[in-house]
Amino acid sequence: MLTETFKRLLPETPAFVYDQTAIDQILLRFKEATGESGPKLLYSVKSFPFLPLLRRIAPYVDGFSASSLFEAKLCAEALAGRGSLHITTPGFRPGEIEEIGRLCDFISFNSLGQFDRWAERVEGTASVGLRVNPQRSFLPDPRYDPCRPYSKLGVPLDHLAGAGRMERLQGLHFHTVFDCAGFGPLVETLAELENKLGEDLKRLRWINLGGGYRLDRELEHMAGLSTRLQHDYGLDVYFEPGKAVTGPAGYLVASVIDVFGSGGKTVAILDSSINHHPEVFEYQRSPRLAESCGEGEERAILAGATCLAGDLFGEYTLPVPPRIGDRLVFKDVGAYTLVKANRFNGHNLPSIYRWDGKVLYLEQSYGYQDYRQQWAGEPGRQ
């Protein structure tokens, strides 16, 4: 089994392993299932903006999508002139907008105000659009629902229709779901858009459908939607998944460094922490554990190594009692893990390894100097 291989081969833990073959397969399957008529595929880099990965997949995607100047710079470096670079963010700043305009090919402003202030300054080098908020909510948790009440993300469709900006717009962008298993919400959202904007859609050159959808089913459906938009409105269609590309390909491998009883339960302390996978704490999502089994009596609380009482991965059922030195593997943690990781308590970040189907390659490691750099009080680094 793959996770057993990782445990055997890794020289140290904690380690983050990403399976290059899994990412290649996801991208290839998308291209095969959607074909020429499918949407142009961008990788939304924020879930794992790892430069070696970006360089490697650049030939297999139509471009990248970024959320900030720094991400855009990293993407531009990886693209090295090929593919297209898209950006949208509520956080465009006055001092950055020209540089963003030079780096990015497509800019979707987040509000009518942003558009009015800055469209002119980037129109010479980028294709300018707006992020709209279709006001159709599909998520149970407002913390990650872009269409929550009083949302800060995108121009409400109600405001756009009749705002007199359609003539100058080249494209529209929306992004409304997270970890969504089917394209039903996309169908509803497009219907809303067509209903509110109608023939105005024909004025545009492109539409960006955002990300947030899983890519493990119904890809033909996506191809059909894209074909219809191209046919009915003459639009170039872009799609920018993040988690669907990297999530299933990532593993966090940790070692047990202590085991004891507490109030009648077994607690195993790992050499990692939820600071290496903050979504556990943020959204109370217990990551899948490769070793956990449905049956068995050996329950253990897997805890992180920091001083925070709530630094807990969760309670899992294991085939055998955990022992010091055991290695455990959390699965499907390729997205939004290291990008949010921190060095709370001074614990080092996991090293990053790439699996190519045969060999594990160490691609990044951190040490005391990286920790010191963060806190050294030495200004001036660009």
Contact residues toward ligand PLP (CB under 6 A) are 44, 46-47, 65, 88, 175, 178, 210-212, 240-244, 335
Nearer to ligand PLP, 19 or 240 (CB): 240
Q: How far is the CB of 146 from ligand PLP (least distance, A)?
A: 7
**Total residue length of the chain:** 382
Q: DSSP secondary-structure letter at 213?
A: B
Q: Burial letters for 78-111: b for 16+ Cβ neighbours within 10 Å, e otherwise? A: bbeeebbbbbbbeebeeeebeebbebbebbbbbb
Q: How far is the CB of 328 from ligand PLP (least distance, A)?
A: 25
* Element holding 43 (H helix, E strand): strand 40-44
Q: How far is the CB of 211 from ligand PLP (least distance, A)?
A: 3
For the chain, helix (H) and strand (E) counts, in that order, are 12, 18
Q: How far is the CB of 320 from ligand PLP (least distance, A)?
A: 36
Nearer to ligand PLP, 49 or 322 (CB): 49
Q: In this chain, which residue has its C-beta nearest to ligand PLP?
A: 242
Nearer to ligand PLP, 196 or 243 (CB): 243
Nearer to ligand PLP, 243 or 331 (CB): 243
Place of tokens 């459906």: 221
**Torsions phi, psi of 79, nearest 5?**
-75, -35
Query: Rounded CA gap, 184 and 205, in Å?
Result: 24
Query: Rounded CA gap, 219 and 197, in Å?
Result: 26
Q: How far is the CB of 347 from ligand PLP (least distance, A)?
A: 26
What is the 3-state secondary structure of 226-255? HHHHHHHHCCEEEECCCHHHHHHHEEEEEE
Tell me how crowded residue 19 is: count the other CB atoms within 10 A of its CB. 21
Q: How far is the CB of 91 from ligand PLP (least distance, A)?
A: 11
Q: How far is the CB of 247 from ligand PLP (least distance, A)?
A: 8
Nearer to ligand PLP, 13 or 84 (CB): 84
Nearer to ligand PLP, 138 or 178 (CB): 178
Examine residue 322 and say whether the peptide bond preceding it is cis (omega within 30 degrees of 0).
no
CB 42 within 8 A of CB 64: yes
Nearer to ligand PLP, 151 or 365 (CB): 151
Structure tokens of 137? 């909510």
Query: Rounded CA gap, 19 and 26, in Å?
Result: 11
